[in-house]
Structure 1
Amino acid sequence: MMQPRIPRSLSLLFPLFFLSGFSGLIYESIWSHYLKLFLGHAAYAQTVVLIVFIGGMAIGAWICGRFAPRIRNPLLAYAAAEFVIGWCAIAFHRVFVGATDWAYATLLPATCSAEGWCLSSWILAAALILPQSVLLGTTFPLMTSGILRALPQDPGRRIGLLYFLNSFGAVFGVLASAFLLIPTIGLPGASMTAGLLNVLLALGVYLIARRSGIPAPAPPAPRSAGNGASPGLLLWVALLTGLSSFVYEIVWIRMLSLVLGSSTHAFELMLASFILGLALGGAWIRGRIDGLRDPRRFLAAVQFLMGLLAIATIALYNASFDAMAWMLAALSRTAGGYVLFNVGSSLISMAIMIAPTFMAGMTLPLITFLLMRTPTGERSIGYVYAWNTLGSIAGVLFAVHIGLPQLGLKFSLASAAMIDVLLGVALAWPAGTPAVMRWRAAALASLAIALAGSMVLDIDPARTASGVFRYGAAALPSSSTVLFHRDGKTATIDVVRHAEGHLYIQSNGKPDASYRPATAGSGEPSPDEYTQVLLAGVALAHRPLAQDIAVIGFGAGISTATILANPAVRRVDTIEIEPAMVEGARQFRPANEAAFSDPRSRIVYEDAKSFFARSGRRYDIVISEPSNPWVSGVSSLFTQEFYARLRRSVNPGGLLVQWIHSYEFSTPLLASVLAALQAGFGDFVVYQSGNDLLVVATTGDRLEAPSEQAFLTPGLGRLLARYALRGLDDLDLRRVAGRATLERLLPAIPANSDYQPYVDSHAAEARFLRTTVDRIDEIHRYPIPLIDLFEHRRWHRRGSASEPQRTNAGASARPSPEALIDLIGGDGTGIGRETNRVYAGTLRTAYRLLLQECASASTTAELWDAMVSLAILVNPASRPDRAQAFWLGAAQSGCIARLPGRYATWLALFAAVGARDPQGMTRLATALLDGGGLTPGQREYAVLSALAGSLARSDAASAQQIVERWMPQLTEAQRNAPAFRGLRALSGL
């Protein structure tokens, strides 16, 4: 049958409503982000955000349902609502910043405790977004009422179409917000963009409404024969199916976080997939709803199928790990590969969610259509929306606070599925037709299948703990054992023991800390242990008299336990957002025993931002070791706003010790974090432990030098010594550079901000690309100690009471100073990762031939490049006194006296470089260059040494002569080598 022609002006309302859905989801994303910045990311705070937003929409929908007959022109009312929403969005950022600054400074310290919920913060959060949320809740009922009054034919088709368009617009709103608007113009720009769109949208609807006559609402229809559903039952179905759908959403997002990763990009892709299923369901039903013979029975069938398909997602879920593993194996780690990774992640999400959400997308149009055939009439549009939204609030409360922590992922999902199946039973059971027995049999069969499926199907912990999104393995190896598994309110926590004895504690599949018990394998500590101990050690070395210390992130609890080994410490507050993390860390006893049993230790379950904003306590040291900043929400602990507020909680002269990973990160991301840190702190220095960076920052203008006291404290000193930290010279080995140096070496990148989240927008891609902080890597490859020369740094000498010990290669920023001894007379076991045993053996052989066996002049000339390589290895990695003594000792070899004088000059140059003597470097290197006869590698080393010596002494004239005379003799590749780039950056050339 042909559909009646829609007037052109009214037909424009449909694309406008698509735009309304587009902007509405931008608001949901942005306002939720804003409120989480204020309330934090703890489970109860996330619940408050959702309740305020969804509750406001429920109130708005209820108002429309209650007063629908009195609204003369729903389209004009809709235009007014969109207009106000738009202007609220345009002004929102300034209002939010002003209100929260006042709250942090005045309201929260006066009215809130350091832990738990805070009523005043909830009230302020509600005041900030509740009015707009109420208005958003009115938009669907008002637009639907206006369309149905103007086009009363085929009401079911109109409702389904509007539901589809609004949901489909929401899909694009989610994606545009995450991948376009926030990365390019930040939260304020995204809010303003959506606001301007709403204002223009309101003006368009206003013009259409003024030109089109909207009739008064039709009188309520008598109850339709064949309907058989009371308004009360249908409203309860709307509420309970809203509850189950929101449980599905929360559970599926947690499940898929273990497959796709828990980044913001992954979350938005999952949300878009969920909403897409709803939209497609609405699109499918719109063309069929008016022709249904028995809409109630059809709704019952939809509820049956939704529950059964939700249970079936468990089986698909286990297969999704294989799909992700296959995809990662097939993709290249490039920018284009990351685009395909996101596309593939969306496909995996849709494979899990699309079928049940397709069913869910039909429920509201069907319920509304049924209710409109009752005396409720047009008011049913608002009522159904309101009850469904109230059910969503109940679903949030159940899933976060009961389902996940008490039932786990599988049984939370099964509980929601059973609700949908039981709703189908309730709708089908009283059917009074000859087919009643068949419908009752179908209801009972669906219930039995749902129960059987929830018992038979299971989620494999070896898969959920595999971290497939990082490692590409669909499951843990059979030799690994999951010792602890718990679905917490904010994350799923696992403790895994691998074959070699390593213990890992994981959050949503990502290892957060590891520990190797002394009984496992060689007993050598894990790299993570070195980092956790160094965090505490470097903090206490720089602030040995610290008494009150806060630690952000419990992890394995080893950092907290290390701090408590210092008897001078009075109190340690460890702030952890997920209680299941602390429970899992009990598996790491006895390494972290003090964190649990020492009376000075206090574990606080709270979001760190909220804790410091409300506690009013001040600390001598704050150690921040949260999860990786690509994890959704974590990057807010690396922003300039957080650092500025954190400073208020640090005593004058106190320290922040910030952990940052250099793996799966990038130089621009590090530069952004360090720029943000300067908003609250002054001078800083960076240490390195393996692939981890530790930033020690002071509230003052100058960071005090570390003290030996921490290493002399009996209990603490013994613990630090186990991890190759026996004194200040071991800290020297791990030192990378100070603030002034890094500001020159790192690119100028905008500071990471709550409102311009540079790190959150780019960190997930860096994780996929497996990039590293290459500028830090380059520092370790400099042939000469450029950083020491330009910082004029004095190394600490090893005390005579301490025996020289090798430093763990994986924990140090450079090779052990004893590497030079190993190279000449040992087995090379102390050499860092920058060299390998074969290379070391080659250098030892060259040294022996040249300086011990007195090779001929021709052989010496052939092998001298090996001596330059030895200098490149030894000098940047060794204390100046040891390096200088080594080369001066080599110069005493009788072999040197038999060789041309330039070789003695070379050894003198090596000694000058090792001693960090810039004047000697320039003089000796220039002499070698003037003498000629150098190989390309030798010439590069000599030019670099001469130029660095001049620039380190600020001798611009000498540097200019070297640049003009010798730089043209280098190849372009040599001139652009990392050391020359670093030299240009450090000197400002």
Structure 2
Amino acid sequence: VIWTRMLILIFGSTTFAISTVLTAFMAGLALGSFTFGRLIDRRGKPFMTYGLLELGIGAYALLAPTLFDSLVPLYREVWLRFEPSFFAFSLLRFALLSAILIVPTFLMGGTLPVLSRYCVRRADLVGCDAGTLYATNTFGAVLGTFFTGFVLLSTLGLRTTTLLAAATNLTLGLAVVLLSRATRETSAASAQPAPASPSVPQPSTINHQPSTIFVVLFCFAASGFAAMAYEVAWTRTLSLLLGSSTYAFTTMLTTFLIGLSVGSFVFARLATSARFQGVGMLAYLQLAIGILAFLTTFLFAKLPYTYTVLFKRWGAHANETALMALNFAIAGVIMLPATLFLGGMFPVVVRICATNVVRVGKFVGDAYSINTVGAILGSFCAGWLLIPTLGILKTLFLCVAINLILALVVGLVARDLTLGMKGVLCVMTPVLLYLVPHAGPDWNALLMTSGMYKYASEIEDYSRDAFYKYTEGDYDLLYYKEGITATVTLAKEKARDNIWLATNGKIDASSHADMPTQVLSGEIPLLLMDNPQDALVVGLASGVTVGSVLQHPVKSLTAVEIEPAIAVACTYFGHVNFRPWEDPRFKLVANDARNYLLVTPQQFDIIISEPSNPWMTGASSLFTQEFFKLGRSRLKPNGLFTQWLQLYGMAPPNVQALLRTFLSVFPHVLIFETIEQTDLILIGSERELTIDAARIADRMKAPKVQASLARVQVADVFQLLTYFKIGTKELVTYAGQGLLNTDDNELIELQAPKNLHANTRAANDRLLAAATAGILPYLRNYGQTDAERAAFLAKLAEANLAKAKGPEAARLAKASLAIRENPEARKVLATPVEPADPANDE
């Protein structure tokens, strides 16, 4: 878990990059299991060997952070040389990852066969003992995943958690080595054979045909393929229901591992009975896996409403424990039925194959390694090929079909199944294979991507009919794609001309409520800077920001978007985004933005970062100090870095921490509030930032800029400047001292999800409003004479008054009167202000 989080910061969080990390990791496990399974049978002293393996893993864990950091310059060089060739670059990236992960994963892979060699004492108990070891090992992974995700990372951070894990390995390894030296080590080599029974044949003495063993191992590999494909597809489904926070992913992985652990433990105990030891048992397991996985797909359409009902009933709105329990319950309903039987595969397979207790290391190592190879293929194919081409539901149907076919194939070679039972399998399997695609449920895209993990608190009081009207009845689906990295939904409201774009159920862009942020994120930095030439935008979304930038005379604009499906969805916003894909200055890069900035040598005048929310895994790495430093390193001298930031769903201390983090990299910052109590635009630079009113007004005369700003009803410089919120001096005081958001502590990624359903917008806005001194300290060149300056400030005061920004209007009116008496400023001061109604759209 920790190493994956570290490595994706270097190699990127694209699906292909993550798949490469997982492939390299699991390949090491498979190779280690295969190799040590054979070595330990010949070498002996498995307990001592296990201790040495743990010592090696712990020693490497201590070096891992330093080794990972050393990869950065090498990775950058590889990218610069081979990036135009996708195949060559991908191959070299895999080589780099393999080189860095092969040692620890090779050692990790050896632990199970080595321990099995030590613990298994009787041939008739090999399935029980090896299965119990596997269950115990998997349960350790459950504890590690749970406590790392929910406790350790938030209290210790990445590097300290790594040190703790290393210390655990070293302590365990040292204890085992010392214990082994202090005692006379015995193992299965000196174990006694099982007591014979004249009435019950011992399965250990059954010599299966090589062809049967081949079928069993092939089944186990294919089962590993299906298991990982299930895990990927279930995770994609549950991310629509539980969200994309680190806690949601921890919940999913923990639940999946619980199923494997419990299933392995149960069937390890059952493996002592002759009825559960034959090849036929594998057929029953595969049949159960396929049927249960298929049946759970009928629950998908019911879960969004169920989630909302339980969300209210359990009080999850303000109770972290209740929300965690709800997420585990939803994940358990989907994952546990089939994973219990997936977990049962290992002890049954080992019991069938391990006919000689002296060679148990080889049998366990072979079984584990071949299953891992299948898992590698399943993970890669599901994420990279099956889901993008078939979709989540059909990928699950394909996995169900694999299990059903495996049940038939294994059943036909099983000597312990009667001819009648084989006949039943021959009839049942084709029938089920037909029913899966024809009688299976439909996938309701609007319902499944309704984002209840985010919006449940807003509609928890809705009736059933109102719920379904809200989630699907009020919209027409325009575009839907289960992409490589995310599920993208595009819909149009029936009641008004508004198109919205959602990623994994969270609305990230629209042609109505989000327009001020989308337009002004591109317009304000371009108007503030003198003659910008090259710009970079992080996140394409609706394309409105990109289109805004291209209304200015820049030479080039690069947009980095991690999900290719977004590029298609963007075309539906052509009526509001000026169709940027038709502009020759525009270049779209399909990559993780952080990874792109890490490797590209290009420098930019302006970088505009508009990722999704900072509580989301992946996007959260685009809000850390390290990312801001990376962005600064890619700016030309006096360049501007623009960062979108939300005020909703984050407690004031979280917002302050992000502002502190931004200030730690960019000492000069101006903030504009584009949507009241909702969105901020942070503009940072290493140079002092001021607002040149005359230059802005002059640039706003350009017809293209006028047309761009007209989309958000900004007609002049006065209306534009009403969006100003706070400047550097006051911001430093407001942000205060405290923790920064870093790659190591992941402060916002771990804290922000806890406030996802809290109403924090008003509090955040109120604190910022109380801290600001207004725009005046940063306003320059707004008149040549006193009369012009007084008139300008009076008009700006009137514009603020029109937007119900009373305190700022009063500040400007008083400043105008201090320069020169005028009736316009007097009128502003005499006018009562009605509070603005903040936008409800997020």
**TM exceeding 0.5:** yes
Displacement after TM superposition at 1:790 (Å)? 9.2
Q: How does 1:869-884 map to 2 (within 5 A)?
A: 874-876=809-811, 880-881=815-816
Residue deviations 1:561-615 (CA, integer Å, cap 9, x gap)? 111122x111111110000111122222232343221111111111111212222
Residue deviations 1:408-445 (CA, integer Å, cap 9, x gap)? 00111111111111111111013446822323313531
Which whole-Å CA distance do the structure 2 matches of 1:625 and 1:141 have between them? 48
Which whole-Å CA distance do the structure 2 matches of 1:727 and 1:132 have between them? 62
For 2:14, the equivalent position in structure 1 comes to: 42
Displacement after TM superposition at 1:446 (Å)? 3.9
For 2:148, the equivalent position in structure 1 comes to: 177
Q: How many residues align?
A: 797
Per the alignment, in what secondary structure is the counterpart of residue 568 of structure 2?
helix
For 1:755, the equivalent position in structure 2 comes to: 744
Does structure 1 residue 459 correspond to structure 2 residue 443? yes
**798, 817, 837: which one aligns with 1:817:** 798
For 2:267, the equivalent position in structure 1 comes to: 285
Which whole-Å CA distance do the structure 1 matches of 2:615 and 2:742 have between them? 14
Which whole-Å CA distance do the structure 1 matches of 2:538 and 2:509 have between them? 14
Displacement after TM superposition at 1:351 (Å)? 0.9
Residue pair 1:270, 1:346 contacting (<8 A) in 2 also: yes
Does structure 1 residue 415 correspond to structure 2 residue 398? yes
Q: How does 1:285-364 map to 2 (within 5 A)?
A: 285-293=267-275, 294-332=277-315, 337-364=319-346
For 1:491, the equivalent position in structure 2 comes to: 486
Residue pair 2:671, 2:680 contacting (<8 A) in 1 also: yes
For 1:543, the equivalent position in structure 2 comes to: 529
Name the amino acid aligned to 1:464.
M
Q: How does 1:725-874 map to 2 (within 5 A)?
A: 725-772=714-761, 774-780=763-769, 782=770, 787-788=773-774, 791=777, 796=782, 817-818=798-799, 820=801, 830-832=802-804, 874=809
Per the alignment, in what secondary structure is the counterpart of residue 670 of structure 2?
strand
For 2:161, the equivalent position in structure 1 comes to: 190
Per the alignment, in what secondary structure is the counterpart of residue 346 of structure 2?
helix
Which whole-Å CA distance do the structure 2 matches of 1:756 and 1:236 have between them? 43
Per the alignment, in what secondary structure is the counterpart of residue 482 of structure 1?
strand
Shift in CA distance, 449/885, structure 1 to aligned 2, threshold 3 Å: farther
Residue pair 1:183, 1:757 contacting (<8 A) in 2 also: yes
Which whole-Å CA distance do the structure 2 matches of 1:621 and 1:348 have between them? 44
Residue pair 1:227, 1:295 contacting (<8 A) in 2 also: no
**Which deviates further from its counterpart, 51-60 or 116-125?**
116-125
Which whole-Å CA distance do the structure 2 matches of 1:101 and 1:315 have between them? 46
Residue deviations 1:788-838 (CA, integer Å, cap 9, x gap)? 39947569479999xx99xxxxxxxx9983575xxxxxxxxx454x7xxxx
Structure label with greater radius of gyration: 1
Does structure 1 residue 642 correspond to structure 2 residue 627? yes
Which whole-Å CA distance do the structure 2 matches of 1:455 and 1:388 have between them? 30
Residue deviations 1:221-280 (CA, integer Å, cap 9, x gap)? 997438566222222112110000000000000000100111111001010000000011
Name the amino acid aligned to 2:455.
Y
Which whole-Å CA distance do the structure 1 matches of 2:664 and 2:434 have between them? 56
Name the amino acid aligned to 1:592.
N
Per the alignment, in what secondary structure is the counterpart of residue 817 of structure 1?
helix
For 1:135, the equivalent position in structure 2 comes to: 107
Does structure 1 residue 564 correspond to structure 2 residue 550? yes
For 1:441, the equivalent position in structure 2 comes to: 424
Which whole-Å CA distance do the structure 2 matches of 1:753 and 1:299 have between them? 48
Q: How does 1:881-960 map to 2 (within 5 A)?
A: 881=816
CA RMSD in angstroms comes to 3.3
Which whole-Å CA distance do the structure 2 matches of 1:606 and 1:873 have between them? 42
Residue deviations 1:637-694 (CA, integer Å, cap 9, x gap)? 1111122122222111111111111111232222322333345433111111111110
Shift in CA distance, 683/703, structure 1 to aligned 2, threshold 3 Å: farther
Q: How does 1:92-111 map to 2 (within 5 A)?
A: 92-97=64-69, 99-103=70-74, 108-109=79-80
For 1:78, the equivalent position in structure 2 comes to: 50
Does structure 1 residue 468 correspond to structure 2 residue 452? yes
Name the amino acid aligned to 2:666.
F
Does structure 1 residue 531 correspond to structure 2 residue 512? no
Shift in CA distance, 489/769, structure 1 to aligned 2, threshold 3 Å: same
Per the alignment, in what secondary structure is the counterpart of residue 656 of structure 1?
strand
TM superposition score normalised by structure 2: 0.88
Name the amino acid aligned to 2:127.
G
Higher relative contact order, chain-length normalized (CA < 8 Å, sep 6+): 2
Residue deviations 1:166-203 (CA, integer Å, cap 9, x gap)? 11121111111111111111100110001101111112
Which whole-Å CA distance do the structure 2 matches of 1:77 and 1:253 have between them? 36
Name the amino acid aligned to 2:408.
V
Which whole-Å CA distance do the structure 2 matches of 1:222 and 1:67 have between them? 26
Name the amino acid aligned to 1:459.
W
Which whole-Å CA distance do the structure 2 matches of 1:886 and 1:356 have between them? 79
Name the amino acid aligned to 1:57.
L
Shift in CA distance, 737/390, structure 1 to aligned 2, threshold 3 Å: same
Which whole-Å CA distance do the structure 2 matches of 1:191 and 1:666 have between them? 29
Name the amino acid aligned to 2:577.
N
Displacement after TM superposition at 1:888 (Å)? 6.1
Per the alignment, in what secondary structure is the counterpart of residue 768 of structure 1?
coil
Which whole-Å CA distance do the structure 1 matches of 2:410 and 2:712 have between them? 67
Residue pair 2:538, 2:559 contacting (<8 A) in 1 also: yes
Residue pair 1:109, 1:613 contacting (<8 A) in 2 also: no
Shift in CA distance, 257/889, structure 1 to aligned 2, threshold 3 Å: closer
Which whole-Å CA distance do the structure 1 matches of 2:797 and 2:387 have between them? 48
User: Identity, % of aligned pairs?
Assistant: 25
Per the alignment, in what secondary structure is the counterpart of residue 621 of structure 1?
strand
For 2:707, the equivalent position in structure 1 comes to: 718
Which whole-Å CA distance do the structure 2 matches of 1:310 and 1:452 have between them? 14
Residue pair 2:692, 2:779 contacting (<8 A) in 1 also: no
TM superposition score normalised by structure 1: 0.76
> Which residues of structure 1 form unaligned runs of 5+?
1-28, 516-525, 806-813, 821-829, 835-870, 893-906, 915-989
For 1:31, the equivalent position in structure 2 comes to: 3
For 2:462, the equivalent position in structure 1 comes to: none
Name the amino acid aligned to 1:547.
Q
Name the amino acid aligned to 1:502.
N
Residue pair 1:745, 1:775 contacting (<8 A) in 2 also: no
Which whole-Å CA distance do the structure 2 matches of 1:879 and 1:65 have between them? 83
Shift in CA distance, 82/889, structure 1 to aligned 2, threshold 3 Å: closer
Does structure 1 residue 394 correspond to structure 2 residue 377? yes
For 1:660, the equivalent position in structure 2 comes to: 645
Displacement after TM superposition at 1:43 (Å)? 1.6
Name the amino acid aligned to 2:280.
R
For 1:683, the equivalent position in structure 2 comes to: 668
Name the amino acid aligned to 2:449.
A
Shift in CA distance, 878/593, structure 1 to aligned 2, threshold 3 Å: same
Shift in CA distance, 542/119, structure 1 to aligned 2, threshold 3 Å: farther
Does structure 1 residue 591 correspond to structure 2 residue 576? yes
Displacement after TM superposition at 1:713 (Å)? 1.7
**Which deviates further from its counterpart, 358-367 or 673-682?**
673-682
Residue pair 1:304, 1:421 contacting (<8 A) in 2 also: yes
**Which deviates further from its counterpart, 739-748 or 183-192?**
739-748
Residue pair 2:280, 2:415 contacting (<8 A) in 1 also: no
Does structure 1 residue 514 correspond to structure 2 residue 485? no
**474, 498, 508: which one aligns with 1:502:** 498
Name the amino acid aligned to 1:570.
K
Name the amino acid aligned to 2:481.
R
Displacement after TM superposition at 1:287 (Å)? 1.5
**664, 678, 683: which one aligns with 1:696:** 683
Displacement after TM superposition at 1:458 (Å)? 2.0
Residue deviations 1:520-576 (CA, integer Å, cap 9, x gap)? xxxxxx22111111011111111241121111101001111111122x111111110
Which whole-Å CA distance do the structure 2 matches of 1:92 and 1:264 have between them? 22
Name the amino acid aligned to 1:542.
L
Shift in CA distance, 790/359, structure 1 to aligned 2, threshold 3 Å: same
